[in-house]
Amino acid sequence: MTAPGVLPAQVGPGRKFFMNHPVTADSHTLAAYRARGGYQALAKVLGSGMSPADVTKEVSASGLLGHGGAAFPAGRKWGVVKLNDGEPHYVCMNADEGEPGTFKDRWLLEQVPHMCLEGLILGSYALMGRHAFIYIRGEFDLAWRRMRDAIEEAYAAGLLGERILGSDFSLDVVLYRGAGSYVCGEASAMLASLEGKKGWPRNRPPRLTVKGLYQKPTVVNNVETLANIPVIVGEGAEAFRKVGTAKSPGTQMISISGHIARPGVYEVEYGYSWETFLYEDCGGMQGGRALKCVIPGGVSTKVLDPEQLKGRTLDHASALAAGSQLGSGGMIAIAEGTCMVRLARVIQRFYHHESCGQCTPCREGMGWMERILDRIVRGEGRPEDIDRLYHISAANDGTTICSLGDSAGYACSAILDHYRHEFEHYITHGRSMMDGALTVEDPFAESLARWRAAHPGALAPSLAAAAAAGHA
Ligand SMILES: Cc1cc2nc3c(=O)[nH]c(=O)nc-3n(C[C@H](O)[C@H](O)[C@H](O)COP(=O)(O)O)c2cc1C
Ligand code: SF4
C-alpha cells in the first residue's frame, strides 16, 4: 500500500546508509550516486579478484537479516546455492511491497535506485548469475521509471551487460511490472508470476534456492536487503556490524503512517528507542491524542500497546520479546478513540480479497471471518462470534501453503487478545464502544464542518484535504 504525498525524513541519531545525503531533483541519477562513492563496491569486487564465495562470506559475516518480513539471514540464504553446478542461477529483487502500511522500498527505489541495483549486481556476482530480475509493484510508477532509467544508465556505463567494468562477469537485468496482487509478493508466487503463470504460492520443498525461477536455483531478496550489500562489500562486514545491535546489525527503514503527527519514511539504527522514535522523532499522535496501539511491521504483525512498547528498542529481539515482529518495517500508529472492531474488519477484508484461494482454511476462513466481523459492525453480532473468530484464526496456523493465512489469523487474534472488551461491547450493545469516546478535540473537526456546510450533500474528502482546500 502506498502513502501518497508522504515526504521522506531523516531523524534520530545513528548511522544512515540510505538517507545520508540530501534528496534533490537528480540525487537518484548515476552521476550523483557515483559522486558519493556509488559502484565502488562493485569495482572493488571485480578489480580485487574477490571470488563469488568471498562475497557471500562477507555478507554472512555481516549478519545482515532480510528486510522482506521474516528477517532470514541473507548470507545463509545465498550460502546454500551450489556454485559451479552447471545450472543458471537467478537473483530476484522483490519490489512488490504490498504489505499494508509498508512503503519504505518505494522510497529506496525512487531515491537510491542505483544502490538497489548495485546490490542486485553484487548478489548476482556472488551467486554466479547471468540474468537477474526485478519484480516491481505495478502501482509504483515513479519507482519503476527511476529503476528503468537507472538500468539504462548502468548499461551505458558498462555496469551491466557483457564484461562488466572489463571483467569476465556479465549480467543482464529484467525489470518486470507486477499487477498489484499482494500474494505475488510471496517469493514463490512472485516467481510464478515472473514466468507468466498465475501468481500462486507453492509448497516447499523443493526450496527456491534449489528449484526456483524456471526450475533453477534462485534467491529472492527484498529491495532493502539488496540495497545493504554495497555497504557491506564496500565497508566490510566488521564495519557493518558496528551499526545496530549484535543480533540485528545495520539499520531499518521504517515507513510510519496512521494517526502519527509526522508520517513518512525514516531510517533508524537497530537498537534505537521505540518510544523516542514515536513520541519525539515522529512527533507523537495527531491532535495530541494518546497512543492506543502500534502495528509494528505491516498488518501481518501483532499489535502492541503502549505498555508493551515501554523500554523497547527497535530491533528484532526486542520486538519478539514484546510478542510481535518488526516485519516489513511498515508501522501503523493507532490513536485512542479508534474502534478496534472496525479496524479488524478492514484488515480482514483485505486478507479475504487477497487470498489466492488455493488453501481451504485461507480461502474459506478469510471470508468467514470477514462475514462475522461485518455482522458485528452491523450491530448483529452473536455472543459466540469471538470464540469463532479465534477458532478460524487457529485453523489457519500451519495449515496453509504460504503465510498469508497464518498472518491473517495472528493479526486478528492479537487484536482480540488486547481488545476483547470492545468486541463484547459491540456484540452486546450493537454499537462501538468508541463511538463518542474521543475525549480530545479533533483538530480537523471544525474544518470538516465548514467543508460540509459549503458542499451540502457531497461526500467529504479526507479531513486533511478539507483543511488544505482552505476550509481550515
Ligand atoms: C503474502 C505475502 C506477501 C509478501 N510480500 C512481500 C513483499 O511485497 N516484499 C518482500 O520483500 N517480501 C514479501 N514477502 C516475503 C517473501 O516471501 C520473501 O520472504 C522475501 O522477499 C525474502 O526477502 P528477504 O530474505 O530479503 O527478506 C511476502 C510474503 C507473503 C507470505
Ligand atoms: S495461504 Fe491463502 S494466499 Fe497463501 S497459498 Fe494458501 S490460499 Fe493462497
Query: Is 346 within a domain?
Result: yes
Query: Is 4 within a domain?
Result: no
Q: Whose CA is nearest to atom 6 of ligand 1?
A: 185
Per-residue pLDDT tens digits for 182-203? 999 999 999 999 999 999 999 9
Query: Is 441 within a domain?
Result: no
Among 241, 267, 284, the domain boundary falls at 241
Atom from ligand 1 closest to the CA of residue 224 = 26
Contact between 184 and 166 (Cβ < 8 Å) = no
User: What pLDDT is recorded for position 443?
Assistant: 52
- Residue 49 — pLDDT band, cuts 50, 70, 90? confident
CATH number reported for the structural domain that contains residue 275 in this entry: 3.10.20.600
* 186/355 Cα distance (integer angstroms): 12
Note whether 86 and 144 are same-domain residues. Answer: yes
Note whether 261 and 378 are same-domain residues. Answer: no
Q: How many domains does the chain fold into?
A: 4
Among 241, 263, 290, the domain boundary falls at 241
Q: Is the dihedral of CA 54, 119, 153, 192 positive or negative?
A: positive
Local structure of 405: helix, strand or coil: helix
Which ligand sits nearest to residue 352's alpha carbon?
Answer: 2
From the CA of 65, how far away is ligand 1's center (Å)?
Answer: 13
Does residue 12 carry a pLDDT above 90?
no
Note whether 294 and 350 are same-domain residues. Answer: no
Atom from ligand 2 closest to the CA of residue 366 = 2
Question: Which residues form ligand 2's pocket by a CB distance below 6 Å?
Answer: 183, 201, 355-359, 362-363, 400-402, 404-405
Query: Is 97 within a domain?
Result: yes
Query: Is 413 within a domain?
Result: yes
In this structure, what C-alpha cell is assigned to residue 396? 489457519
From the CA of 115, how far away is ligand 2's center (Å)?
Answer: 33
User: What pLDDT is recorded for position 346?
Assistant: 95
CATH number reported for the structural domain that contains residue 390 in this entry: 1.20.1440.230
From the CA of 177, how far away is ligand 1's center (Å)?
Answer: 16
Rounded to an integer, the average pLDDT of 256-274 is: 95
Note whether 307 and 376 are same-domain residues. Answer: no
Rounded to an integer, the average pLDDT of 265-282 is: 95
Note whether 460 and 366 are same-domain residues. Answer: no
Note whether 134 and 101 are same-domain residues. Answer: yes
Contact between 173 and 160 (Cβ < 8 Å) = yes
Query: Is 395 within a domain?
Result: yes
Query: Is 259 within a domain?
Result: yes
Q: Is 130 left (phi over 0), alpha (psi -120 to 50) or beta?
A: alpha
Note whether 98 and 233 are same-domain residues. Answer: yes
Does residue 459 carry a pLDDT above 60?
no
In this prediction, what percent of the chain has a pLDDT beyond 70? 90
Which ligand sits nearest to residue 405's alpha carbon?
Answer: 2
Q: What ranges in 157-295 are assigned the alpha helix state H?
A: 187-194, 223-227, 229-235, 237-241, 274-276
Give the strands of the sheet with 218-222, arranged side by side.
Answer: 172-177, 131-136, 90-95, 218-222
For residue 313, how many C-alpha atoms fall within 13 Å in the half-sphere facing its CB?
Answer: 15
Does residue 466 carry a pLDDT above 50?
no
Does residue 472 carry a pLDDT above 60?
no
Domain that holds residue 266: 251-326
Among 294, 326, 358, the domain boundary falls at 326
- Residue 1 — pLDDT band, cuts 50, 70, 90? very low
- Residue 454 — pLDDT band, cuts 50, 70, 90? confident
Note whether 36 and 182 are same-domain residues. Answer: yes
Size of the chain, expressed as the number of residues it contains: 472
Note whether 192 and 52 are same-domain residues. Answer: yes
Cβ neighbours, 10 Å, residue 112: 29
Q: If you write DSSP's letter for every residue of 43-106 in order, what string do you get? A: HHHHHHT--HHHHHHHHHHHTPBPSSSS--BHHHHHHTSPTTSSS--EEEEEE---STT--HHH
CA dihedral 82, 86, 88, 90 (to 10 degrees): 10
Does residue 113 carry a pLDDT above 80?
yes
CATH number reported for the structural domain that contains residue 159 in this entry: 3.40.50.11540
Rounded to an integer, the average pLDDT of 240-247 is: 97
Rounded to an integer, the average pLDDT of 61-81 is: 98
* 23/3 Cα distance (integer angstroms): 18
Average pLDDT, the chain: 92
In this structure, what C-alpha cell is assigned to residue 407? 498472518
- Residue 442 — pLDDT band, cuts 50, 70, 90? low
Q: What ranges in 273-401 are assigned the alpha helix state H?
A: 274-276, 306-309, 316-321, 340-354, 360-377, 385-396
Note whether 212 and 289 are same-domain residues. Answer: no
Rounded to an integer, the average pLDDT of 294-305 is: 95
- Residue 134 — pLDDT band, cuts 50, 70, 90? very high
Q: Whose CA is nearest to atom 29 of ligand 1?
A: 186
Local structure of 352: helix, strand or coil: helix
Q: Is the dihedral of CA 61, 65, 71, 76 positive or negative?
A: negative
Strands 131-136 and 90-95: parallel
Residue 277 gets which letter from DSSP? I
